[in-house]
Structure 1
């Protein structure tokens, strides 16, 4: 279906100047472009600038020293030059050398020998393979020809513009234009469109060709197809930004931390470069772009790093760790902030957010700022702009099957898949052991070990014991590409922006294992439930509670308070299964509580690997060296081909041993149901449930399957809030019956919700019908007055507007002292205070580095149940079952409320 021209495109077209570009315009474009590559020159008084300049010079010197020019290559490890990946990476190395040549203070600044070396290398590649007459060979990666090589080549040409002859400039521009080819494809979306447009603009800037600048600029808006694939708009399919905070690439892969960041980087660079020309991009077009910074990118960052669950196959690249993409996003913010056409309030916020990323990141220990980023941050610091508050609460992006949960001292990210979203991305011989990355992989990040997933995790982790996943232990074959999961249910919701619920109807790729899985994201813990765990692979089925990459310095571990031998440098691994166990504790993580008292297995082992085990695509760094890491794995063995396996456990990130023991002794959470039909918990005055086939809990009956959370915080809370979603994204409506004598009139509700009262005076009994058709799994909310509350209903709070999601559910951060670039220790973490939601907040780590006490006894998680008649069932009874397609159909135990058939 053809989409009509959007109002933003029409506005942009109307604002375009008919004035042709003058030589002065082109010169200004080149100056601005060069500044995006070298940083704006200013007085150096920043450790980050010194570090970045030193790193740049050192890397360039290493590249120069390792050159071995021949008839088939420039660098021996990038041979033969005729392979597209090798000439593309050769250009990228030459760009680094050209940067070092162009920046004052570098050891190569205006070194004529270096200049000649780069120019001769450009001539060699042009004469041998990459020029305006080249024809892409069959089987070669188109991206190297159309995007990767052009972007690097344009940067080099602008850096060396005054050193290149007019003929060379013309040839470079012609090469870029020829290899980019047509830009009118409807399939060209998102990051790829932004990259190609940027390269085309650059080719015009080099050759003073206004036609190419114009083509590149208007391709961003997709002028040719009336804005159908404009990168300034939300998309309905394919690559790009989606409603609700998702970013997809290659149609089915969540990628806000990879392609999404690249999209923003290239767009922000184009916006910055064009801002002083007649082809400027105005603020009206950038509305969607700026809104997504809060909804799409901030929730998937932790301590300046992009979380792994939205990075696709990039996790298998040693040269692009989590912080690399965090820094690239920071650079995008700085480009936007340095553009006068961007409204002042946005520019200030982008600088504030950039400072927040910079202050919270464990840099330069992992991956320091490059020179452009370092100069930009120096300017932000000199302007004394305070850091933005980090996100706090639960953030669901249902169109990508992802859930993020942020607390002051830790964060969690859940990767799921469905009939809509791919399990994993394995492409170009990258990410070769991905089998369970989308089957409920639960990433938990803590301040105790901030670099856990960056410490050579991916080549050494056990792919058959992925945290959060239930799977058979049968060997898997080579990964396939571009396929979705077998079932529809994958998603969840947030409750008042503070707590979260997720559910996954899991069936493995080979259909050898299945389970109904639920996660409950609370203030101080994550509760995980599983039921109907079944198998047909002829092997054991395991649910992995934890597989932790231990810090290099080792980590103490205890079971029921008894410390285990975990000294670093040990020789013999150990594995134990405990029949009766309540809790365990790991210094570098926090606590584990086993809520069903079933057998749990523990394994401590030394795992070896190489990055080439998971990535055989050429990388910048020689990463074939063997690596060894120590791991602690905790799992439930459901047996060989189980029919109705179950589990129930709690993760307490950043908790102390005393808090973990207290949680195990008196659990503040009541597991009311854990069956293949219904999984639910109750804490304080709140209930969270996944109704897999409808049912009843207390005062509420769900006629149709859904995810739902309802209740209130404490007796002082003025209203009862219900949040509900359709994780299958296939239903047309959800119907609920609420028969609660404490509910009065409606306070606020979404337009999708209809109410039918069953009693006079509109209190006590109500039928709630939610129209979910076409809402793509979003959360719907309704709020009622609580009759038992005796205050007034003036100014009742309601959920924040979409554009303020991250600010109204975030903490307030105080200034954090950042370590100098030469030190190898982490700075203290920001002190943050959650938004007031009538519960005792979790305090942040103090400057002494000690971990604060968790508010295990906070009112939200410990008050006695009061929502209907809920019987505690920490240990659910077994039920008779019959297996059909690996899904154990279980009758509800006698001690649970009856369900409503559907």
Structure 2
């Protein structure tokens, strides 16, 4: 089903009949443009990237030539026999590298007739043995090699050697490609696969001067045959493709913007570039969705020029395709779009600007060096002095893929969840063989302190049973299945003003042996993680992994409560300790860890060994079998064997200093108000963030229905109160909230999905909010109200300490201290009592009220509270809870008022959380990749 808002314009489809015929001059221009996409625009070489790319290309081509061992069954001995599809496809790819080196001036093979003859003879050999217009795909062979992989490589070779090939050879190559591509009218041909096949078909027509094939390929991109049903220029609402809100799914249920999504854009951008000066150019109206997705789908999932691991599917198990490989491929897509004249000038400049920011952000220029096309394109951008685009800052939720990204100036985080809608992991074609918990709350954290953490042979050496962010039993798992969704619906969250985010996951492991209700709160300088109802039925210990860090090769210092541990690089004596009383820890290659509930925490330092072939047995990657050793620091909570009501509460402070971590632990600038299987919430800076797993009350707000919610002061000088809410289950029809806040004034703005009903006609302060969430797929809904207490200037507000805050820019700003006014207004909370701070499952203790800051910006300087719940509110929340009770899990409701006073109430909510018996969705794996 496709989104009505993004239907392919009828005029674009109708224009197919009006397209003028291609002339010989058109075909020459098409070949010239295609060749430029493979060799780069020929220009003077004056950049290090071009020198490096050219040297790398020539050296690789020379190695391929030297290793040739032609025989009756192969060209290269390691690609024998040639009759296997993976071997003839990879042989074409090597020949393409040699043909590139032959075609580029300054290369050592430029116009070398011996090299030319070698490539042509190799093409003839493959055609005579296996890949020709008469071949029939053998049973068990991968269709992708026949229909996409081999054709795309063969088109590039034929265009590079066009003038050296006889007309007969060109015709045979074109016929081979067209025959093996076959029908392109299938409704199942979608997304990246459709883009790839269409590009290959256009190429076949360009080689043979056959306009019919160029036309077929061009209009297949728009899916003219089915009135645009599977056009790659439109949004979808189910299945494969690009979604509104930034998600990209492949194989129906797997988030893949960093793999298939990039490949989709690469092939589309190449087609746009090649066709841009021909009668078959792609209409700019069709490209509107494509332009929008650059910011909504791709930029948020990149960090320092690399595609984050949570949206790369099984690609994470490929040694030869690291995160920087996909970042560079996306960069090349931007350069192709920027070089197409039909693309509006403002977009072309932005694409160049974004490409430069990706290039500049790479932690190591030669991590996975630019190829020759990318290098030439970047040289042109640099010569034009196009400034880099600013990096994304803030929280980006893509609810249709159960993913949340959070970007700060010095670090970024990405959360991978799964649900009854989204697959836990992708394991296909013997790839990604240890994926069991990759979709169960895997929290990726990237920092400038160790930018290559996930590139440093992480995947073959990491502990799959201690995945950061995940709660799971320690029992061995069965071999992975394909298309395995999660058992429960709740997975998602929201962003608030673009700066903060909330996420929640109702986790039940694949084998139903462990479960937990988990929440993450993404703040300016920290991530707060809460878990409750941690239970197990596997007969083994259940662990929540706070961290499992791949240490840099140079080593890293680690301390617990300020006491440094022995962490010698190179040779270590493995150690594991459980600390009963621990407040904080610090790893200098990451930042800080603060343990908010003061319960026992376990630490492990060890060497881990592995091979890439342990996690990938696909024939393409069997060469990466060398043993690897890496050092790991693992931090986790052991909930015991088959626990019933395990819990945890901790904070991650990426890129923070040791002193900042200690200060945070001494006086946390956030207050954990609830951590139960029914409600998890924190309060800070006049802001409340919560996951209501069932109805409940916090302060002035009652949620009648389950939801994720965040509310707090917004606007210049905190003039408004803004509420953001979403339905992470994507099953509800409406969400109902009730607010009885004397500070709530008139409506400033609201979305059409929100209806308001005031408690008393003509009066403010008491309002029922009904949000229509049916069919909105977990989208965030917002409403803003005026604050009655706001009088136009900050001085008129109740006095509060000075604030340091980083919002959506990378600049740190500091507000000066305001003098306390002579008349202090009435506090926003009901009573004035002694300031208390009650930790989870611990007795209350008096603390001093003071200001604490972390990093470049204060995460939680105390401000007037949005409202403190009374005992009656606590009882109401308990009455709203359903289920059996066994044992006690206590949560604390507290708030700080007017800079000096607060009140604390506590509620006791308890229940036994048993893993449910819901079943997962499974299906057999398709043949293709």
- Same fold (TM > 0.5): yes
Counterpart contact for 1:499–1:523, Cα < 8 Å: yes
Structure 1 residue 871: deviation in Å? Answer: 9.1
Do residues 132 (structure 1) and 133 (structure 2) align? yes
Task: Tell me which residue corresponds to 1:95.
Answer: 96
Do residues 295 (structure 1) and 273 (structure 2) align? no
Counterpart contact for 1:655–1:854, Cα < 8 Å: no
User: CA 1:255–1:839 in 2, change beyond 3 Å: closer, same or farther?
Assistant: farther
| Cα deviation digits, residues 230-270 of structure 1 (max 9, x gap) | 00000122211011100000000000000000000000000
| 1:364-375 equivalent positions in 2, closer than 5 A | 364-375=365-376
More divergent stretch after superposition (889-898 vs 91-100): 889-898
| Cα deviation digits, residues 343-384 of structure 1 (max 9, x gap) | 011001000101111111123231111100000011111111
Task: Tell me which residue corresponds to 1:207.
Answer: 208
Do residues 833 (structure 1) and 811 (structure 2) align? yes
Structure 1 residue 727: deviation in Å? Answer: 0.2
Structure 1 residue 78: deviation in Å? Answer: 1.6
Partner SS, residue 606 of structure 1: strand
| 1:85-124 equivalent positions in 2, closer than 5 A | 85-124=86-125
Q: Distance in 1 between matches of 2:887 and 2:187?
A: 46
Aligned residues between the structures: 845
Partner SS, residue 730 of structure 1: coil
Q: Distance in 1 between matches of 2:67 and 2:628?
A: 25
Q: Distance in 2 between matches of 1:478 and 1:25?
A: 54
Q: Distance in 1 between matches of 2:467 and 2:692?
A: 26
Task: Tell me which residue corresponds to 1:595.
Answer: 596
Structure 1 residue 18: deviation in Å? Answer: 3.3
Partner SS, residue 346 of structure 1: helix
Counterpart contact for 2:888–2:910, Cα < 8 Å: no
Structure 1 residue 106: deviation in Å? Answer: 1.0
Structure 1 residue 759: deviation in Å? Answer: 3.0
Task: Tell me which residue corresponds to 1:805.
Answer: none
Task: Tell me which residue corresponds to 1:11.
Answer: 11
Task: Tell me which residue corresponds to 1:862.
Answer: 861
Q: Distance in 1 between matches of 2:78 and 2:178?
A: 28
Q: Distance in 1 between matches of 2:858 and 2:272?
A: 49
| 1:609-758 equivalent positions in 2, closer than 5 A | 609-619=610-620, 622-712=623-713, 716-758=717-759
Q: Distance in 1 between matches of 2:650 and 2:624?
A: 37
Counterpart contact for 2:82–2:130, Cα < 8 Å: yes
Task: Tell me which residue corresponds to 1:266.
Answer: 267
Q: Distance in 2 between matches of 1:420 and 1:585?
A: 38
Do residues 426 (structure 1) and 427 (structure 2) align? yes
Counterpart contact for 2:259–2:313, Cα < 8 Å: yes
Structure 1 residue 622: deviation in Å? Answer: 2.9
Counterpart contact for 1:695–1:899, Cα < 8 Å: no
Counterpart contact for 1:703–1:900, Cα < 8 Å: no
| 1:306-455 equivalent positions in 2, closer than 5 A | 306-455=307-456
Q: Distance in 2 between matches of 1:605 and 1:629?
A: 8
Structure 1 residue 833: deviation in Å? Answer: 2.7
Q: Distance in 1 between matches of 2:737 and 2:20?
A: 62
Structure 1 residue 193: deviation in Å? Answer: 0.4
Structure 1 residue 197: deviation in Å? Answer: 0.2
More divergent stretch after superposition (12-21 vs 609-618): 12-21
More divergent stretch after superposition (97-106 vs 658-667): 97-106
| Cα deviation digits, residues 101-128 of structure 1 (max 9, x gap) | 1111111111111111111111111111
Structure 1 residue 90: deviation in Å? Answer: 1.1
Structure 1 residue 674: deviation in Å? Answer: 0.4
User: CA 1:431–1:624 in 2, change beyond 3 Å: closer, same or farther?
Assistant: same
Task: Tell me which residue corresponds to 1:218.
Answer: 219
Partner SS, residue 860 of structure 2: helix
| 1:461-472 equivalent positions in 2, closer than 5 A | 461-472=462-473
Partner SS, residue 436 of structure 1: coil
Counterpart contact for 2:888–2:908, Cα < 8 Å: no
The normalised TM-score by structure 2 is: 0.88
| Cα deviation digits, residues 1-28 of structure 1 (max 9, x gap) | 7999976442223444432111111111
User: CA 1:701–1:203 in 2, change beyond 3 Å: closer, same or farther?
Assistant: same
Structure 2 stretches lacking a partner, 5+ long: 795-805, 818-851, 872-877, 893-904, 912-929
Task: Tell me which residue corresponds to 1:767.
Answer: 768
Task: Tell me which residue corresponds to 1:475.
Answer: 476
Counterpart contact for 1:473–1:542, Cα < 8 Å: yes
Q: Distance in 2 between matches of 1:858 and 1:129?
A: 63
User: CA 1:3–1:563 in 2, change beyond 3 Å: closer, same or farther?
Assistant: closer
Which structure has the greater CA radius of gyration? 2
Counterpart contact for 1:754–1:769, Cα < 8 Å: yes
| Cα deviation digits, residues 695-728 of structure 1 (max 9, x gap) | 0000000000000000116993111110100000
Structure 1 residue 483: deviation in Å? Answer: 1.6
Task: Tell me which residue corresponds to 2:513.
Answer: 512
Task: Tell me which residue corresponds to 1:799.
Answer: none
| Cα deviation digits, residues 398-418 of structure 1 (max 9, x gap) | 000000000000000000000
Q: Distance in 2 between matches of 1:5 and 1:224?
A: 20
User: CA 1:778–1:7 in 2, change beyond 3 Å: closer, same or farther?
Assistant: closer
User: CA 1:410–1:859 in 2, change beyond 3 Å: closer, same or farther?
Assistant: closer
Task: Tell me which residue corresponds to 2:83.
Answer: 82
Structure 1 stretches lacking a partner, 5+ long: 794-807, 812-831, 841-852, 873-878
| Cα deviation digits, residues 169-207 of structure 1 (max 9, x gap) | 111101100010000011111100000000000000000
User: CA 1:391–1:888 in 2, change beyond 3 Å: closer, same or farther?
Assistant: farther
Partner SS, residue 717 of structure 2: coil
Structure 1 residue 854: deviation in Å? Answer: 6.8
Q: Distance in 2 between matches of 1:474 and 1:251?
A: 30
